[in-house]
Amino acid sequence: MKKILAICLLCCVHLLRAQVSEYPLKKSSLLWKIEGPGLTAPSFLFGTMHMIEREYFFFPEKIEKLILSTEELVMELPGLPSREESLPLLTLKGESFFDYFTKEQSDSLFQWASTNMNMTEALFRKTMESMKPFVFVQLATQWKFIGNMESYEQTFEALACTNKIPISGLETAADQMGIFDHLSREQQTEMVMESIRNPEKIMQQTREMEQLYVDQNIDSMYMMIMKHESVIVDEQSAFLDDRNSRWIPLIIQHIASHPTFIAVGAGHLGGPKGVVRLLQGKGYTLTPIRIK
């Protein structure tokens, strides 16, 4: 009984001493070592970019060694869902993709598809008719990276599978799609139009974000996301804060069981309510590890 009380006292003292990093960070990284109460070995937290141009992608040997030194890989999703799993989540029921847009907006989409994908109006209509607006946003985003894209998630997944490291997810595909499904029709329409409006500016912003990523400055990445007018900023809680909060108990559960490598979008790491500071608030020590 005395031993149990002593352990509880130590944990309480540790929590009282919990240090939450100042905002913005003086020392930043994409990779953080997690230590703290009840952990017999450290775990690691890494910020990814889900899609990134090849010249900005870096995967040093240090990261591979850390993944291989842990007993589980945890990502936002436990790998890509199958076509059978994803199709019902991506298709509309009882309405058309084009019901979301005025004639002028639809004409802009037809023009974009013709210019960028060499698709006729008829083919574009057939392709998108039953799709949710989010599908077009993904299409327009991925188009910018065609032939020059790398994926941290796919790289991590392949490494874990090759070395028989279990993979878990903090969310399901249904969880992620639910965020977009709960947006109003007007917000979903605006998100689509945002994705084709001023492509030169969008590409410039993408490169700025990629450079901040290479610089490993997670708070600056968060600030950049927040300074732009967009549906994501308007719905910050749904896209970032609420998800971060939901992930913390799951992350704690994983790292308490065994050494774990956690990889989530870098936009979730920084900011006052980012994963780094939320874990620090729970009494864990997070130490930045420069990887380049």
Domain ranges of the chain: 2-91+131-289
**Rounded-to-integer distance, Cα 59 and Cα 75, Å:** 16
Q: Is 29 within 8 Å of 291 (Cβ atoms)? A: yes
Between CA 132 and CA 138 the distance in angstroms is 11
In contact, 49 and 152? CB cutoff 8 Å: yes
Q: What is the pLDDT of residue 18?
A: 62
- Unique residue bearing structure tokens 């249904």: 174
User: Within the chain, how many helices (H) and strands (E) appear?
Assistant: 15, 8
Over its length of 292 residues, how does the chain's per-residue pLDDT go in tens digits? Answer: 443 443 343 344 344 346 899 999 999 999 999 999 989 999 999 999 999 999 999 999 999 999 999 999 999 999 888 888 899 999 999 999 999 999 999 999 999 999 999 999 999 999 999 999 999 999 999 988 888 999 999 999 999 999 999 999 999 999 999 999 999 999 999 999 999 999 899 999 999 999 999 999 999 999 999 998 899 889 999 999 999 999 999 999 999 999 999 999 999 999 999 999 999 999 999 999 998 7
